[in-house]
Structure 1
């Protein structure tokens, strides 16, 4: 194999594909990018057992062939020569990289060791605007679980119904529910997509008004953006029923400036940095929220004015969870809804209910 291409184009492709290289594996080839050259097109492919990413770029192919090289090292190295034309070839030492008057070598593995990827698009699909999907992912994916205790919670439930795409994510301590307009499809789709897959799809999107078609088949997801194709496994099993979690009514509601509340919680969070629960306390009383935080470093006590209805309340919570939800909302005013100091509470925009966040309070001995 031998080809010549622009270093910047190759670097961008390598960085994109390397996101699917495995970092925890006993199979070395899963840490690799498979590079293939044929008919003036170079194909880069990586697969970690869950996600595969393939990207094609134009190149001057002098000799067709394919080989596997460690993805992290290759993408990092090519990034350092991105301002030059590079010549990539195979030789006795493995992969040869020539640039200007220099050359380097990397160990390589035979392409025959790379697993076969079956990523054919199925008949079932749904369509959504790129900007809408990118926003939906950013509003929900941070609530997905990161541990292995309940693997299905590492994914986000996506459902199409009534011309809407609904997303639900939770980790056992908080939950995000959001929706956007669906641009089309051939039926109602219900899948649990890995959070990591959604993050990589979001990175692929420009966020414009173009319509993206996402195919689903046999617990697999298939999406193509320009010259990049992503294929991912989907999680199987029963996802949590969100209707059983959100309280049907609330005894206390408080409307407040989102910016003011973010600033106050951020200041309170400074002194509890490193605390296990990031504990802050809200005392809702008389049209104000008194926000307090205490640690060995010091204490904070601030008052934020707003509009209150219902009973007075004092509740403790994880400050990081509160900030994540506040920053995901996008209106000037937000609404906080409470019941008791030990019951879950919710956050949402004051006017639009497209996104809602539910957070479990922290029980205190005080």
Structure 2
């Protein structure tokens, strides 16, 4: 195996795929990037048992072949080389890297030990604008669980309904549900995609109106963006139905300026930084929401103008969860829907109701 290429092309491909290299594994080859050199193209790929990323670029191929090299070491090393032509090939010592008047060697593993991941027979697909999908991901995956107690909650439910793609995510304390329009797609399909996978797809996208095609089989998902292919395992099992989580009606509706509430909760959060539950109290009264927070450092009490429909209420909540939801919404005014101090409450845009965020309140003794 031997090829000549621009060092920036090699570095860019390595940086893209190294995100799929395993970090803690008993299988050393999963820590590697596989290099495949064929025709006039070099293809780098990595796979950690759940996520596979592959990227290709043009090169001057002197000898076809393939090899596996430690992904993070290789990526870091290539990134330290100044912009120049670089020659990479396999020798008896391992992988030889020539640049300017220098050369270095790295150990390699046999490429035939590298596992191949295939999406399998396509069971469904949908097409969506890159910008819309990127926003959908940003508005939902922060509500996915991060622990392994219920693995399926580390994923986001994607479901198609006509020309709508809906995403739902929850971690046991909060839930997000949001949607966007799709161009084409199979109706009535449901998959649970790892949050990490969706995050990597979003990072691959430039946004805008370019079309993204998402294909999936029973157990895998695949997307292709330019010269990059991503394949991911899907979670199996029954995902929590949002209809069973969101209350059917509310006794309190309060409309408030989104940015004013964000600024108030952010100031309150400064004084409770490091405190358990990031506890913020909201007292909803006619004409205003009163935001308070107390800690050993100090306390804050602020008034935010609001319009109330229904009953007055005092409710304790996790300030971080509220801020995450407020920042995911995008209109000047939002509406908070509440029932009792211990019942879940919901935040939505005032006009466009495509997104809804449910949060469990914090139980207090007073």
Same fold at TM > 0.5: yes
Equivalence for 2:297: 297
Contact 2:123/2:218 (8 A) holds in 1: no
Superposition deviation, residue 41 in structure 1: 0.3
Q: Is the 8 A contact 2:119 2:216 kept in 1?
A: no
Deviations 1:186-227 (A, max 9, x none): 343110011011011111111121111111112111111111
Cα distance between partner residues in 2 of 1:250 and 1:188: 29
Superposed structure 1 runs of 4+ greater than 3 Å apart: none
Equivalent in the alignment of 1:106:
106
Report the equivalent of 2:71: 71
The answer to whether the Cα contact below 8 Å between 1:121 and 1:215 also exists between their aligned partners in 2 is no
Counterpart position of 1:216: 216
Residue 10 of structure 1: aligned partner: 10
**Corresponding residue for residue 193 of structure 1:** 193
Q: What is the alpha-carbon distance in structure 2 between the residues aligned to residue 274 and residue 83 of structure 1?
A: 44
Q: Residue 149 of structure 1 corresponds to which residue in structure 2?
A: 149
The residue matched to 1:237 in structure 2 has which SS?
coil
Residue 179 of structure 2 corresponds to residue 170 of structure 1: no
1:123 offset after TM fit, Å?
Answer: 4.8
**How many angstroms does 1:116 deviate by?**
2.2
Q: Is the 8 A contact 2:45 2:52 kept in 1?
A: yes
Give, in whole Å, the separation in 2 of the partners of 1:239 and 1:255.
Answer: 31
Task: Indicate the residue corresponding to 1:91 in structure 2.
Answer: 91
Q: Mapping of 1:178-327 within 5 angstroms? A: 178-327=178-327
| More divergent stretch after superposition (170-179 vs 16-25) | 16-25
Work out whether residues 164 and 180 of structure 1, in 8 Å CA contact, stay in contact via their aligned partners in 2: yes
Distance (whole Å) between structure 2 residues aligned to residue 104 and residue 275 of structure 1: 50
Partner of 2:339: 339
- SS for the counterpart of 1:52 is strand
**Structure 1 runs not aligned, ≥5 long:** none
User: 1:11·1:82 contact (CA, 8 Å) conserved in 2?
Assistant: no
2:348 equivalent to 1:348: yes
The whole-number CA distance in structure 1 between the counterparts of 2:106 and 2:320 is 43
Aligned length: 366
Cα displacement (A) at 1:169? 0.3
CA shift, 1:133, in A, is 0.5
RMSD: 1.1
Matches within 5 A, 1:113-124: 113-120=113-120, 122-124=122-124
TM-score by length of 2: 0.98
The 2-side partners of 1:123 and 1:277 are apart by: 43
After TM superposition, give the deviation of residue 129 of structure 1 in Å: 1.1
Correspondence 1:25-104 to 2 at 5 A: 25-81=25-81, 83-104=83-104
Counterparts of 2:297 and 2:105, CA distance in 1:
52
Look up the match of 1:363.
363
Deviations 1:238-269 (A, max 9, x none): 00011011111111111111111111111111
Gaps of 5+ in 2: none
In structure 1, distance between residues paired with 2:140 and 2:316: 23
- TM-score normalised to the size of structure 1? 0.98
